[in-house]
Amino acid sequence: MTQENYREKIEEHRQEIEFDGPLERKSRTSKKPRQRKSRLIRNMTIFFIFIPLLFLGYVHFFYEPKSLAVDKDDSVTVEPNKPSIENNEEQIAAAENEKEEQEAAKEKAEKEAAAKAQAEKEAEEKAKAEKEAIAKAQAEKEAAAKAQAEKEAAAKAQAEKQAKEDAERLAAAKTHVVQPNENLYRISLKYYSDGNGVQKIMQANNLSSENIVVGQTLIIPQ
């Protein structure tokens, strides 16, 4: 495109701008107040329509009379399909408290069962120890009685044996009448050919000393 063509275009635009004279401007300025007035009316109409709607919506969804609120509080019913947050928190807290109570009761029952088992075990061990002690004392008593009986039986047997031996000795023993100028030593020499028979003669005759008298009868054991 040449410079002349540019100039022609510029001239055309300039002419169009020049034709837009005072009348056109006046017509434009005269239309603006009408447009503003129509917008204001429209805004006010919308405003006065929405205010009652907002009020009705508030009354319908949020506003509750006090009497109805009190009645509603007195007879509160929780719909299963619309649980509230507070009810959920209360239910959770109640469930936790119930769980804690159950755990505490379980722990208490376990402790009581353990204490009962321990007490029963200790009682059983005590009874067993007492029974063993009684059995041991009875056994010791029986053993002592048996030992005493055996000792008495042995002493009795020994006494019987000694008595039998004494009786046999007495049956086989000789007698001697003490003569003048005799003593136990001379009598022992006469019957045992030595003086070792003095103790036998004293024992057989229950003599505490070697003193004898004339005419006394002595048993001479074999």
CA distance 102 to 13: 95
Match 């070697």 to its residue by tokens.
210
Sorted by where each begins, the domain ranges of the chain are 1-76, 173-222
Of 5-9, 22-26, 169-173, 184-188, where does the model show the most confidence? 184-188
E-assigned strand segments in the chain: 174-177, 217-220
CA distance 35 to 25: 16
Domain 173-222 belongs to what topology?
A: Membrane-bound Lytic Murein Transglycosylase D; Chain A (3.10.350)
CA distance 195 to 177: 18
Global confidence as pTM: 0.33
Q: Report the share of the chain in percent with pLDDT over 90.
A: 36
CA distance 219 to 169: 10
Q: What is the pLDDT of residue 66?
A: 55
Number of helices (H) and strands (E), helices first, in the chain? 6, 2
Whether 111 shows a pLDDT value over 50: the answer reads: yes
Nearest to 184 by CA among 160, 146, 218: 218
CA distance 198 to 179: 16
Give the dihedral sign, CA 135/140/141/146: positive
98: tokens are 């119930």
**Confidence class for position 110, pLDDT limits 50, 70, 90:** very high
**Confidence class for position 106, pLDDT limits 50, 70, 90:** very high
For residue 67, the 8-state DSSP code is H
Angle at 151 between CA 146 and CA 156, to 5 degrees: 125
Q: Are 220 and 175 in contact (CB under 8 A)?
A: yes
Q: What is the pLDDT of residue 113?
A: 93
